[in-house]
């Protein structure tokens, strides 16, 4: 029987079609379950075509959601910054990119409040683009716990500001938000925690 339809690796398949297949596969299986082979099967292409378009799965995940942060960008936030300024630096960087106009992170947060798949994607985003790289930068035993607090604080502010529309936050500039929460972010990242003082 002659096979019909597009063949794996068909050059007529567009980048947007691969993105759509990846989006649905990530939604159904989560980050770990959405292998490149599974995504390629959903798109009807060869895995090599996905690698050609996007490189690796992490880059594809970022492209699918148009996420504003690549883990490799986080290192620049810590480059040459004094400890005293780290809270403001991290707060300004994350608020600046996450709260940008039409931010995919805000859309993902909005969807995560009602959709389990979106919530799983948001957890993956937090873990892979915030907690993992920042914890590696501060390099302390409880680094992941510290960065989880940073992420929860910032996402809570953004949820109240951009989704709930709390007036006192929607009227605040990024500079004002950084001034308000920078010291708390600094404390999360640098000051002794209960686990370190108890050790």
- Report the pLDDT averaged over residues 3-13: 47
pLDDT of residue 7 exceeding 80: no
CA distance 156 to 61: 23
194 versus 120: the higher-pLDDT residue is 120
Average pLDDT for the chain: 82
* Residue 121: closest CA among 54, 42, 18, 27: 27
- pLDDT at position 85 is 85
Domain with CATH 1.10.10.60 in the chain: 15-65
Mean pLDDT on 161-165: 89
pLDDT at 42: 94
Using pLDDT thresholds of 50, 70 and 90, give the confidence band for residue 62: confident
Token pair belonging to 126? 């937090």
Mean pLDDT of 156-167: 92
- Average pLDDT, stretch 19-45? 86
| pLDDT tens-digit map of 64-111 | 876 667 666 777 787 777 777 889 999 998 888 777 766 677 777 887
Most confident of 78-87, 93-102, 173-182, 185-194: 173-182
Q: Residues of CATH 1.10.357 domain(s) within the chain?
A: 71-198
pTM: 0.68
Q: What does each C-alpha distance from 36 to 21, 22, 53, 64, 197 come to in angstroms? A: 11, 9, 12, 13, 44
Give me the CATH topology for the region 71-198.
Answer: Tetracycline Repressor; domain 2 (1.10.357)
**What is the average pLDDT across 20-48?**
87
Instruction: Compute the distance between CA of residue 131 and CA of residue 124 in angstroms, rounded to an integer.
Output: 10
Top CATH class, 15-65: mainly alpha
- pLDDT for res 149: 95
Each residue's pLDDT tens digit, 117-156? 778 878 888 888 888 888 988 888 899 999 999 999 999 9
CA–CA dist 108, 118 (Å, integer):
6
């Amino acid at each position: 029987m002659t096979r019909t339809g597009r063949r794996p690796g068909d050059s007529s398949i567009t980048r947007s079609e691969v993105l759509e297949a990846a989006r649905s596969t990530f939604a159904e299986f989560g980050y770990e379950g959405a292998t490149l082979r599974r995504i390629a099967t959903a798109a009807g292409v060869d895995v090599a075509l996905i690698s050609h378009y996007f490189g690796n799965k992490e880059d594809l995940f970022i492209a699918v959601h148009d996420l504003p942060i690549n883990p490799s960008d986080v290192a620049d936030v810590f480059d040459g910054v004094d400890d005293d300024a780290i809270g403001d630096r991290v707060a300004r960087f994350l608020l600046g990119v996450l709260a940008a106009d039409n931010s995919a992170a805000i859309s993902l947060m909005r969807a995560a409040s009602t959709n389990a798949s979106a919530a799983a994607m948001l957890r993956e985003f937090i873990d892979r683009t915030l907690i993992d790289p920042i914890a590696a930068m501060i390099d302390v035993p409880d680094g992941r716990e510290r960065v989880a607090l940073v992420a929860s604080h910032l996402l809570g502010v953004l949820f109240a500001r951009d989704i709930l529309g709390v007036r006192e936050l929607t009227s605040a500039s990024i500079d004002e938000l950084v001034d308000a929460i920078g010291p708390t972010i600094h404390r999360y990242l640098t000051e002794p925690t209960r686990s370190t003082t108890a050790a």
